[in-house]
Structure 1
Amino acid sequence: MEKRNTKQAILEEALNLFSVNGYDGVSVRDIANAVGIKDSSLYKHYKSKQEIFKTLLDGMNQRFEETVAFYQLPQGEIEQVYQQYGENNLVWLKKAVEAMFLFFMDDAYAKKFIHLLMIEQYKNNEAAKLFEEWLISGAITFQSSLFERLMEEGYFRKADPVATATQFYGPILLLLLMYDSKPEKHDEALRLLDCHIEEFASHYHISHGENI
């Protein structure tokens, strides 16, 4: 029989509990009991509940980066990636957006971590900041800069970059929230996502042959 990895089990059970009860609603004893160990044994692996949370956050960042790398999505500064977005076609854009959408919708770790942040955002400043960075301001800031550069280079029609980013990302976030607890409607969510991207591209993109 394979020996259980206690250190990993602590993280898994902590994330399970945090995603349901929030960070403040879970004690070290709760985590230890879920793993089936004593409090003192847990402290041999992690110094505090805060360290457990920090390790979970690091894991979230790593999983996101691995997803981006797996789907070979553009990475780096706007000057390094905007041309890839501008010169690729609509099929490519759909796949790129779908990859990120499915990360938050289907990845069990990501879903639980976001649920944790959603629970804690109104009572925990750090959680509120992380929720904002992961699902709101982080996305809007990147997309605003990206769309502004695409407009400057003639790939997109001129418009307010922040408003454009909001029009692009708002429906995507709404779909995530609408279908978060409805795995049986997975295909419906993806169909609506594709329709949204097509509508957005038809309104903002300036045609250049086979480009978006």
Structure 2
Amino acid sequence: MADTKEKILHTALRLFARNGYEAASVSDIAGELGMTKGALYKHYKNKREIFNSIVERMYQVDAERAKTYEVPEETFAQSPSAYRQVAMDKIKIFIKAQFHFWTEDEFASNFRKMLILEQYRNPEIMELYQKCLLSGPVSYMEDVFREMMEQNVWSKSDPKQLALAFYAPFYLLLSMSDATSDKKEAAELLAAHIERFIDNNFPERCG
């Protein structure tokens, strides 16, 4: 039962990433799996429930990854102390790992592609796209940098501008990586950007 539910989720997401959420039907998903719609409905009552399960899975994985890399799992409003204690070395490792995750993990990559395809057709997915890949990460880094400045471990500056400068290459290289199967160069460019950014803004490294 669990294996079948997993296969449905992965297959549905693959179709959503290829054709878009709106265009892919339950019949398409069932056909791809070689099962009837009736058999699929025993596991998920409709396409919306499949979509909700995919989103829930991504949130769950995101929280688990944050915990693994010892960076804040929640927003600053939910857990301010986590932002006051995080180390830049942890953030650096986490950001590099996130790049590999979004480009190489099949589930994450297909999730991102689905959001890109549907963002202009579905306001809810546009909001999700912003939260996962644009305004969400920028706000996250803004909170990290602001708290580091408060702790005097980061050069004083505008935290939002710093967050934009830090995250923009990540997003650009993420998009560029879609055009090639070799993600190594993009990952190396990101690593170089992060090191240069820290050297330019981290007092302990600059001194």
TM-score normalised by the chain length of structure 2? 0.89
Report Cα offsets for 1:7-47 as digits up to 9, x if no partner.
22221211110010000011111111111111122112111
| Alignment counterpart, residue 134 of structure 2, candidates 125, 129, 136 | 136
Q: What residue in structure 1 maps to residue 190 of structure 2?
A: 193
Between 140-149 and 48-57, report the one with greater CA deviation: 140-149
**1:103 is the counterpart of 2:101:** yes
172-181 vs 44-53, greater mean Cα deviation: 172-181
Percentage of matched positions with identical amino acids: 36
The question of whether the paired residues in 1 share the 8 Å contact of 2:83 and 2:147 is answered with: no
Q: CA RMSD in A?
A: 2.2
Decide which structure has the larger Cα Rg and report it.
Answer: 1
| Partner in structure 1 of residue 47 of structure 2 | 49
Instruction: Decide whether the 8 Å contact of 1:78 with 1:146 is kept in 2.
Output: no
1:5 pairs with 2:3: yes
1:202 to 163, 182, 199: 199
The list of structure 1 runs, each at least 4 consecutive aligned residues, that deviate by more than 6 angstroms after superposition, is: none
Report SS of the residue matched to 1:156: coil
**Cα distance, 1:109 vs structure 2:** 0.2
User: Aligned-pair distance for 1:144?
Assistant: 0.9
| Structural mapping, 1:1-212, within 5 Å | 5-76=3-74, 77-85=79-87, 89=89, 92-184=90-182, 186-207=183-204
Q: Structure 1 length normalisation: TM-score? A: 0.87
**Bigger shift: 8-17 or 108-117?**
8-17
State the Cα deviation string for residues 172-197 of structure 1 (Å, max 9, x = none).
1111111134232x221222112101
Give distance in 1, aligned partners of 2:177 and 2:119. 20
SS in 2 for 1:118: helix
- Which is further off, 26-35 or 6-15? 6-15
Which amino acid in structure 1 is aligned with residue 34 of structure 2? G
Shift of 1:143: 1.1
